[in-house]
A = this chain, B = another copy of it.
Amino acid sequence: MKLDQIDRKVLDILQSNAKITNAQLSKEIGLSPAPTLERVKKLETSGIIQSYHAQLDREKVGLGVTTFVMVNLVGHKKMVTDLFVARVEEIPEIIECHHITGSGDFLLKVISHDIAAYQKLMLETINEIEEVASTQTMVILSTFKESKVMPIP
């Protein structure tokens, strides 16, 4: 499926504000509501739009500490990474897990209530995973940009 300029505009708008009404969206892209809705549905069924999410204020829900944890595993066989990934799936505080190139094997994004909770999670859960050889943490001091809008080429 190929996107035209209007589709791109729709995607831009829905990325930054998913709660816009179809009527309003149609105005902003310069079409009437019917074809606008048709386009959105097409983007959804084709899988280009995967899902819609509410974005929460981490501080206000009591998750004030976010960290990136670089993980090295004890080996690089498929079994080792499979087991590691399976464990990661079960830990809700790990909200992202990427297999990466570079000096580490995996990069995790971890959210915690505070530093104490982070420490507890590391000591009692993450570093207890059999496949983990070592970890190195980067604590986020402040976040200057966290855009939910990707620039569509």
Binding site for B on A (CB under 8 A): 1, 3, 11, 14-19, 46-58, 60-63, 66, 68, 85, 88-89, 92-102, 104, 107, 111, 113, 117, 136-153
Chain B residues with Cβ under 8 A from A97's Cβ? 143-146
A14 to B66, CA, bound (A): 21
A15 touches B53 (CB 8 A): yes
* New A-B pairs, 9, CB < 8 Å, besides A48-B60, A85-B145: A14-B53, A17-B51, A17-B53, A46-B60, A53-B149, A68-B100, A98-B142, A102-B137, A104-B138
Whether B3 and A61, one on each chain, are in contact in the complex, defined by CB atoms closer than 8 angstroms, is yes
Q: A63 to B150, Cβ gap below 8 A?
A: yes
- Cα distance A150–B153 in the bound complex, in angstroms: 30
